[in-house]
Structure 1
Amino acid sequence: MADAKPLSGLENIKADILIRAQKIYSLHPDIPLQKAVAIRGQHIWAFSQVIHGLDSCIGHATRVIDEPTATVLPSFDDTHTHLIFAGLSEFDVPVHAAKDIKELLNLIRHCASQTEPGQWITTTADWQEFNLKEHRFPTLQELDEVSNIHPIVVRRGGHNIVINSCAAALANITPATQPPLGGIIGINREGKLNGLLQDSATKLIECIRPPVSLERRVSGLDRASRKYAATGIGCVRDCFVPVADLAYLKAAHDAGRLNVRVRALVSTLGLSTVSDVDQILSEMEQWRHLQTDPWFSIWGVKFMIDGGIEAGATEEPYVNQNCGCAGHEACGRLLWDTEELVEAMDAVIRRGWRIGTHAYGDRAVRRLLDVYEVLLRRHPHLSNGTLVMEHGGLATPAQQARAVALGIAITIQQPLLHDIAGVQETYWGVERVNRLFPARQWLNLGADISGGSDYPVGMFGAMRSIWGMSTRQTVAGVRGPEHAISVSESIALHTTAAAKMLKESETRGSLRVGSFADLTLWSKDPFEVAERFYGSFGFGGSGDNSICDKCKIIVTTPFCTKCGQKVGGPSQKSSICGQCGITVTTPFCTQCGKKAIQSSTPTVARQEIDTGQKRADPNKDRNLVTQASKQGTSDSARDFTSLVERSIVAWNSLTYADDPDVTGSVSRLSTALRSFDSIDDLFRSRIMFWFFQRRESFMTQTQFIKWDVNRLDEYVLLPMDEGYVNKKDCFYVSHFWRTREAPDPRDEDFKLVHQDLSTQQWTYVWTDWTCLPQGARTPAEREYTNRMLMRTPVLMRECGFEWRYPDFQPRLWILVEVAQYMLNIAGNYAVTADIKPYIDDVQAMKTEGVQQVITRRGYNCSVSREYRLLVGWLELLVILSKLVPDIPMKKFILDALEPPHVGSFEHVDTGIEVNKSTGIVSYQGAVYRFAPLYPVDADGFPK
């Protein structure tokens, strides 16, 4: 690939930032190493393989970063972490620095001496009791000795807190208190409280703690997100966000104090019923508009099916059943009734949200896969990655294969294993700890996995995770070396694979012209000098090989990869994988996981990661995750010669098509669809399916379910992926006929559409049915439809809405679409010759009135019953345009009013109240009238 040039038409515009470096890794398979990258605004503008190849982009305001020995990579994603916790910890007692219980208590004591009586004292959570000299938690009695006039909460990770008597009294917690479902209240041998609360029992304290001020929360998020960014992390998926805390994230975002992109999962911790979850889902609705924000959005909902490292649900009993970690069960504990969990998750899916579920032990993984399988039978339209398994720590080989077959995405957290290995071995034993987070096997199966930290249980940091996944090093020594993966694969799990899981591959994860300029600058090339590089950050080995005296195997860490014992003495021997042919320094190949054979070839430590200079293709290894993932890709994602072929395959993949519980009409439709061999067969049939949808249905739905059996006769949607589709996630092409003989005789409009989409990222394209008729009526129409449909796959990307290309006659639908087009893009629209009359008419409606303009210009509807609906919406739009100058706020109000079942709405911030049944907008004592839009008939049109 030659140098990537600046975006077309912008050659004379200068870059905001120009970076020159020794190596710029795109991580895109078609883009070789680059040496210069130009950035304009938030996006990458151009690349060059020549160090000064973009100097022409330098202007007087361009910031030039010259780093001739540096390496540039995309920014890293942490797909499972807890930024909310990190922000709260910024002002907490830093007990993570303590070496023993005495030091931990002294840190709290010092804080208490400077804190007013009655004020709460809380500690940081990023520490492990195994790393304390005593290998245990502090107790309530010890905390009471520190202070009995302050409520004290010692947090450890996200699953455990230890409290003193003052806090217990405020929460009315006694030895007789029954813990909530899935929680533990610790009792010592004397039958007294020991202060430990686990899992859902922590809610007993969290619900009574006084709220932290908005400024302090925002400041904490500012400081914490800067720390994430400083390690190379550009996006975090926060997997535990109380719904109320969304306001703090939004406030930090609005203030420009979120320094990483955030994808939030709303927590259901402490909930145990469908009604509880429904309440949370209702509270989430006010935040749904954030889904189009590339910086801060809600990813979905977080469930927990078992406990954490002390209470993960296992098939076999814990090795230390007297440790108190498993509560009343020797095999950990499950937190939900299975049937209740299915219904709760079903409610989430029906609202259009994704689900991430904590499942740590192998029994929890089995139960979660059972639940997910039920949900997939109910909702076969769900796309891969809609249901995610968080951790899957102890997943067995059979469970791994089952998860991949179901299309379940998995997030793994090597820093978690590194930090908790010692604690976990106390509960589960070395053998099970060796099996945790089997990345090698997941990749070999073609799983959709990505990497995270699980901070505060594991320490965040881009290269810390890479080092851990490629060495399997932990605080207790190397554990499970057969599960190690290469540095290239590890980096992919935090970049390309992470973006894929988040469904953001078109904008992030790799560096390309037009993608977000989310990149990192490293002093050395991680692909070449990995272990020494990591050591410079205070973790990782020295880079020298050693031999374990006991096991007689070669290692690159101070610990034996087989037995975990400390070793010494450098060695000049390495190993070669017989299958992959690469040099390794562990007894297992980092590519295939097979045992390597001995060789006497001298080696530099971890030479197998040297992909930059010693291989013909520097991107070869970095594509390993992509290649592995392709093995598990469903047929519906392949390239097809036609959309009909693709849709037939997609239809064949539906489990409900052959379900005996499904009505006979669906089975007959399935059989008919499978019989099509070409576009002509489709148009000769009288079946209308998801290529098209009636306009009435489009206007009356705000969310669409692809392959909804009840709407197969009215679909426009091309199902690139299964799942829910929100109207705001679509690119709507109002593409009307240019002449009475053919819709687009010279492909002019098709070229415009392609031009619009080629420089942006879209997911779905809605095409008006007047452009692509359901049944071919003339030879010209058949030819056009065939050509358009055959080319449509190249247009499918990810988007919002757009309205363009008006008809040869003044149709009222076009006026509505142009009015919405003007609203959505905040005045920054291009006025072309064909759209100008409609823009002029929209402006005239504000002064003359809607019906007056319609009458004067002769706008009409081909379906008379649509007239009132369109007039009402136009009048409402004009009223709001006068009252609400803020475009996003105006869109928010219209979105809230759009569902047919909504009869009225009040916007608290502005005081605007809209009543669709009376056709009245009230604002500051004034009344504005529009054609009533409510109540509606079953089809969503006004009665």
Structure 2
Amino acid sequence: MRIFHYSLPLALAMALGSATAAAGELLVDHVDGYTLDGAGKLRRFEAMRVADGKVVATGSHAELVRKAGKAEVVDGGGHALLPGLIDAHGHVMGLGEMKVRADLVGTSSLDDALARVRAFAAKHPDDVWVIGRGWNQVVWKLGRFPTAAELDRAVADRPAWMHRVDGHAAWANAAALRIAGVTRDTPDPPGGRIERDAQGDPSGVFVDAAMALVERHVPAPTEAEAARMLDAALAEMARVGLTGVHDPGIDADTYALYRRYADEHKLTARIYAMIGDVGDDFDTIAANGPLTGYGDGFLDVRAVKLYADGALGSRGAALLAPYSDDRANTGLLFHAPAEMTAMIDKAVGKGYQVCIHAIGDRANREVLDAFASVYAKRPDARALRNRIEHAQVVAPADIPRFKALDLVASMQPTHATSDMNMAEDRVGRERLRGAYAWRTFLEQGTRIAGGSDFPVESANPFFGLYSAVTRQDHDGHPPHGWHAEQAMTRIEALRAFTLDAAWAGHASESLGTLEPGKRADFILVDRDYFTVAPSEIWKTRVLQTWVGGKRVYAAETPAAR
């Protein structure tokens, strides 16, 4: 048996990883291994045998070494091994775009954001549009949205367009407003809002559907640019231990790119893609029905992403009663009930799972009503494992309906710890009883598919695991957790990012645990998720990421053991 260690230099380690994959059989030894079984019970092991990209057995060192034969041996150095983590709601191309556009995530003030935009524009003088993402006026403590005149202070010689961190609002400079032809006479489109100044003129921020007024003028990425974005996203996912992602809302061009990467064996994470809406792109992509297990299990396109409302931070989430901090506003409902029902019916009629963005309590109720209406006509549609994405603020009386309708709650734990600085301001304490209510969903038997909504939040799944368990920010605030009664246990959190995420993507028979016969997607990490202090979970660093028995990432300088 030839033994190699993850502490080798990266280039050599990756080369050995490729040779190992080609050999077809591995023994991953000397690990503190953890996996759930199909019933969700935690199992531990010291070694794992892999053949042809699938798990053969897990067990003790002594037992599996005897059976190793000519297998290549990966020495885990005593580190923890976990099943590969699956993000059930992450925008792959959005993550890649963040790597090549102006990054405003983490800016602490308006001036800080303007400085970043100014620096990016100076570094990219040939960009026709200056594009970026990540601003958050709540963190800036601005008390309002930023304006076009303020963005002009950073870049005025060409159009600039900056998406808010949640992707549900965007900020334009004066040049972008001129190109889009938006004036005081431009009406708000259905499902959108143009922010205006005291005189009624567009102030520079567009919410939800109104963003299309400007975005139709923004040049689409070239094929080469899109490929660079995908490469960057795949590299980042491998670095943080994501072996799979459910990508909500792809178009026909992205579909073609994913298929090409699958054909060329260039995908390093399994992508479960949802077609954006049920319009022309859906008709094109769905012409031959759902795509499953494509590229040796690296690509599935068997779901549709719909939107019911906007986001809480930009006050676009549709509420049953007005916002507590904006009494004239109840948010933005994107579709009339009959229209939403028809969209669901079209998708399930073609055999596609339906995943619907719903954040506000009114939007969640509309979606629940629509699913109930469709199921009355098509009872078999329940088997598609339909989902509500976010399920963020739900009227307590509506939460049991998720179980009654067999819906998956696709939720993102970091949203709670990111939103806790403004959520109560937006909806008040009473409505928070049904907000970010993970424990309530779990106790009624609803599956939670865990995700991040990257790049709205970090793609690092250990941030999500930490938020799920502690309901605290990375500084440990608040001391006992924000509405800690809704926290998950460590096993529940891991299950949300493994077994139940796989189940929500129709893949729990092959992914989500390290049981014999399942695909060998796993990670080695620098600390034990189950024994470290809760405050340490988010600091977990991935040492190696393996997908289908092939190593796709090795840290440059792994920690010594």
Q: TM-score, normalised by structure 2?
A: 0.85
Aligned residue number for residue 514 of structure 2: 511
Name the CA shift for 1:137/1:229 in 2 (closer, same or farther; >3 Å).
Answer: farther
- The corresponding residue for 2:546 is none
RMSD of aligned residue pairs (Cα, Å): 2.4
Q: How many angstroms apart in 2 are the aligned matches of 1:408 and 1:536?
A: 33
CA distance in 2, matches of 1:174, 1:255: 47
User: Which residue in 2 is equivalent to 1:281?
Assistant: 282
Q: SS of the counterpart of 2:230?
A: helix
Match of residue 243, structure 2, among 211, 234, 241: 234
C-alpha distance 119-439 of structure 1, shift in aligned 2 (>3 A): same
Does structure 1 residue 42 correspond to structure 2 residue 41? no
Provide the C-alpha distance between the structure 2 equivalents of 1:233 and 1:333, rounded to a whole number of angstroms.
33
8 Å Cα contact 1:71-1:525 kept in structure 2:
yes
**8 Å CA contact 2:28, 2:74 repeated in 1:** yes
Distance in structure 2 (CA, Å) of the matches to 1:457 and 1:485:
22
Determine the C-alpha separation between the residues in 1 that align with 2:406 and 2:538. Answer: 37
Find the residue that maps to 2:354 and give its secondary structure: strand
SS in 2 for 1:428: helix
Distance 2:533 2:228 in 1: 35
Q: Which moved more, 1:284-293 or 1:406-415?
A: 284-293
Paired position in structure 2 for 1:697: none
What is the aligned partner in structure 2 of residue 405 from structure 1? 404
Distance across 2 between alignment mates of 1:362 and 1:425? 14
CA distance in 1, matches of 2:534, 2:33: 20
Q: Secondary structure of the residue that 1:505 maps to in structure 2? A: coil
Per-residue CA deviation, residues 347-404 of structure 1 (Å, 9 max, x unaligned), is 1121221111111111111111111100000101123453211111112332111121
Q: CA deviation at 1:484?
A: 0.9
Gaps of 5+ in 2: 1-21, 542-561
**In 2, Cα distance between equivalents of 1:139 and 1:287:** 46
**For residues 481 and 31 of structure 1, what CA distance do their matches in structure 2 show?**
23
Q: 1:226 to 1:53 in 2, by over 3 A?
A: same
Shift in Å at residue 72 of structure 1? 1.4
Among 252, 255, 258, which residue is 2:267 paired with? 258
Q: Is the 8 A contact 1:385 1:501 kept in 2?
A: no
1:178 aligned partner: 187
- In the alignment, is the contact (CA less than 8 A) between 2:525 and 2:540 conserved in 1? no
| CA positional deviation for 1:511 | 0.7
Q: Shift in Å at residue 86 of structure 1?
A: 0.7
Match of 2:64 in 1: 53
Aligned partner of 2:529 in structure 1 is: 526
Deviation at 1:109, TM superposition (A): 1.2
State the SS of the aligned residue for 1:321: coil
Cα distance, 1:196 vs structure 2:
0.7
Distance 1:361 1:307 in 2: 8
Aligned position for 2:292:
291
Structure 1 residues 49 and 444, CA gap change in structure 2 (3 angstroms): same
How far does residue 52 in structure 1 lie from its aligned partner after superposition? Answer: 6.5
1:316 matched to 2:315: no
Measured at CA, do residues 114 and 23 of structure 1 come closer, stay the same or move farther in structure 2, by a change above 3 Å? closer
Give the partner amino acid of 1:150: R
Q: Hey, what does 2:161 align to over in structure 1?
A: 153
In 2, are the aligned partners of 1:222 and 1:252 still within 8 Å (CA)? no
Partner of 1:138: 146
Give the structure 2 partner of residue 71 of structure 1: 80
CA contact (8 A) 2:501 2:512 kept: yes
1:422 pairs with 2:421: yes
Measured at CA, do residues 32 and 315 of structure 1 come closer, stay the same or move farther in structure 2, by a change above 3 Å?
closer
1:266 aligned counterpart, secondary structure: strand
Contact 1:385/1:408 (8 A) holds in 2 = no
Length-normalised TM-score, structure 1: 0.52
In structure 2, C-alpha distance between the alignment counterparts of 1:431 and 1:397, rounded to whole Å? 10
Q: Which has the higher strand share?
A: 2
Does the 8 Å contact 2:289/2:351 carry over to 1? Answer: no
CA contact (8 A) 2:462 2:538 kept: no
Residues 270-669 of structure 1: matches in 2 within 5 Å?
A: 277-285=278-286, 288=289, 290-293=291-294, 294-309=297-312, 310-321=315-326, 330-433=329-432, 435-474=434-473, 477=478, 478-534=481-537, 536-537=539-540
| Aligned partner of residue 527 in structure 2, secondary structure | coil
Q: Which has the higher contact order (CA 8 A, sep 6+)?
A: 2
CA deviations on 1:776-821 (whole Å, 9 max, x unpaired) are xxxxxxxxxxxxxxxxxxxxxxxxxxxxxxxxxxxxxxxxxxxxxx
Task: Describe how 1:212-223 pairs up with structure 2 within 5 A.
Answer: 212-223=221-232
Is it true that 1:88 corresponds to 2:97 in the alignment?
A: yes
Amino acid across the alignment from 1:193: P
Which residue does 2:544 correspond to in 1?
Answer: none
Letter in 2 for 1:182: G
Matched residues in 2 for 1:527 and 1:139: separation? 47
Measured in 1, the distance between the counterparts of 2:385 and 2:64 equals: 42
**Distance apart, 1:15 and its partner CA:** 5.2
What is the one-letter code of the residue matched to 1:225? L
- Matched-pair contact (CA < 8 Å) for 2:270–2:299: yes
Residue in structure 2 matching 1:162, options 168, 171, 175: 171
Deviation (angstroms), 1:97? 4.1
| Alpha-carbon distance in structure 1 between the residues aligned to 2:433 and 2:158 | 42
Q: State how far apart, in whole Å, the 2-side matches of 1:376 and 1:493 are.
A: 26
Distance 1:255 1:99, change over 3 A: farther
Question: Structure 1: which 4+ aligned runs deviate by more than 6 Å?
Answer: none
8 A Cα contact 1:80 1:453, kept in partner = yes
Q: CA 1:243/1:480 → structure 2, altered by over 3 Å: closer, same or farther?
A: farther
Q: Write the letter of the residue equivalent to 2:376.
A: R
Q: Which amino acid aligns with 2:365?
A: R
Query: Deviations 1:142-178 (Å, cap 9, x if unpaired)?
Result: 1122222211011112211101111122222112112
Aligned CA distance change for structure 1 residues 78 and 446 (closer, same or farther; 3 Å): same
Partner Cα separation in structure 2 for residue 15 and residue 292 of structure 1: 20
Q: Cα 1:535–1:380, aligned 2, differ >3 Å: closer, same or farther? A: closer
Q: Could you say if the C-alpha distance between residues 252 and 103 of structure 1 is closer, same or farther in structure 2, counting changes exceeding 3 Å?
A: farther
Q: What's the offset of the Cα at 1:136? A: 4.9
Cα drift, residue 295 of structure 1: 0.6
Q: Which amino acid aligns with 1:42?
A: G
Give the 5 Å matches for 1:756-795: none
Letter of the 2:55 partner, please give it. Answer: I
Distance 1:265 1:486, change over 3 A: same
SS of residue in 2 equivalent to 1:422: coil
- 1:89-118 deviation per Cα after TM superposition (whole angstroms, max 9, x unaligned): 210012214221112111111222243467
1:308-345 C-alpha deviation (Å, 9 max, x unpaired): 112111122211117xxxxxx52212110111221222
* 1-structure distance, mates of 2:303, 2:64: 43
| Identical-pair percentage | 25
Cα deviation code 1:496-549 (max 9, x no counterpart):
1111221211101111222100111122221122414325359xxxxxxxxxxx
Residues 114 and 153, structure 2, Cα contact 8 Å, conserved in 1: no
Assess if the C-alpha contact under 8 Å between 2:382 and 2:405 holds in 1.
no
The 1:453–1:535 alpha-carbon spacing in structure 2 relative to 1, beyond 3 Å, is closer
**How many angstroms apart in 1 are the aligned matches of 2:127 and 2:521?**
45
Q: 1:474 to 1:524 in 2, by over 3 A?
A: closer
- C-alpha distance in 2 between matches for 1:213 and 1:382: 38
Q: Contact conserved, 1:420 with 1:458, CA < 8 A, in 2?
A: no
Equivalent residue, structure 2, for 1:115: 124
Cα offset, 1:430, TM superposition: 4.7
Assess if the C-alpha contact under 8 Å between 2:48 and 2:64 holds in 1.
Answer: no
Whole-Å separation in 2 of the counterparts to 1:503 and 1:318: 37
